[in-house]
Amino acid sequence: MIHKIEAIVLRSMNYLESSKIVTLYSREYGAIGVIVKGARRAKNKFGASLEPLAHINAVIYKKDTRELQLLTDAELISSFPKIQQDFEKLFLSLSILELTYMATRYAEQNDALFNLIIEVLEEIEHATKSSLLLFYYFETQIIRLLGFQPSIESCSSCKKPINELEERGIRRVLFEIDRGTFQCEKCIPVLDTGMSTDLGAVKLWEQLSRLYVKKAAAMFWNREIQGDLDRIISRYIEHHQPEIRTLRAKQMFESIRPD
């Protein structure tokens, strides 16, 4: 059956002499592997539409018994040119693709997730300040959309709302990775240093998980809590989605970015 799809290219690799195997995340079918015959011939019609990050309309021949579908046509909607020219934007966007690839291999089609990817990439494309918060926004949102949102609206022990803790003198909390909850420092006598974190990091996570992307993009935030937020989110994702490993693009970004 011939299907028209809208997709984002997650990965692309050469196959045999002139073909490519491409992993797409599509609005219609979720993650899907396609083979594109002749994609590397000198005169091919695909241009940049099969490169990672390309947002495309495509035509595929789909057979449910086949693992790889056949892609016969692709038209570029956007290649996100500003992302391609900026080190931070590029590596954070590649991290988003990598996370999507690992998180959705066995997941169902998910319209909201597809929209999220496109919206966040468009926001990064036009961002005039650091896009790091948009990357964390993406992480908190994919966690929510895949159904493992933590319960961080209040302390799991005293039940005080997270937004009231600061005025009560709380600065640190213990994030409980396995249950996706936290306890404020008044509820636990000695903080377990492994998952002890700045209250601000959990607060930021809680906020990001319920904002629209435009609001997240306009937010100002304290850079000091970034390390804590980064650490608790990635440990939480790894714990709850074992198929997700360290993001290579993110690691590369950390190792070469200026401080």
User: From CA 210, how far away is CA 17, in angstroms rounded?
Assistant: 47
Question: Which range in 11-19, 134-142, 186-194, 212-220 contacts Zn ion by CB under 5 A?
Answer: 186-194
Question: Which range in 37-45, 84-92, 184-192, 195-203 contacts Zn ion by CB under 5 A?
Answer: 184-192
Our finding on whether 90 is near Zn ion (CB under 5 A) is no
End-to-end C-alpha distance for the chain, whole angstroms: 52
Strands annotated E in 133-180: 172-176
Among 187, 188, 191, 211, binds Zn ion (CB under 5 A): 187
82 contacts 39 by C-beta, under 8 angstroms: no
Pairing of strands 55-61, 2-15: antiparallel
* Sequence-ordered list of residues with C-beta below 8 angstroms from that of 117, at least 6 positions apart, any chain: 8, 25, 96, 100, 138
Question: Which range in 113-121, 132-140, 149-157, 208-216 contacts Zn ion by CB under 5 A?
Answer: 149-157
- Structure tokens, 217: 């993009």
Our finding on whether 156 is near Zn ion (CB under 5 A) is no
Query: Least CB distance from residue 165 to Zn ion, whole Å?
Result: 8
Our finding on whether 48 is near Zn ion (CB under 5 A) is no
Q: Residue 251 to residues 19, 90, 153: CA-CA distances in angstroms?
A: 30, 13, 30
Q: Which is nearer to Zn ion, 2 or 158 (CB)?
A: 158
Our finding on whether 218 is near Zn ion (CB under 5 A) is no
Q: Which is nearer to Zn ion, 19 or 156 (CB)?
A: 156
Our finding on whether 184 is near Zn ion (CB under 5 A) is yes
Q: Using CB under 5 A, list all residues that contact Zn ion.
A: 155, 157-158, 184, 187
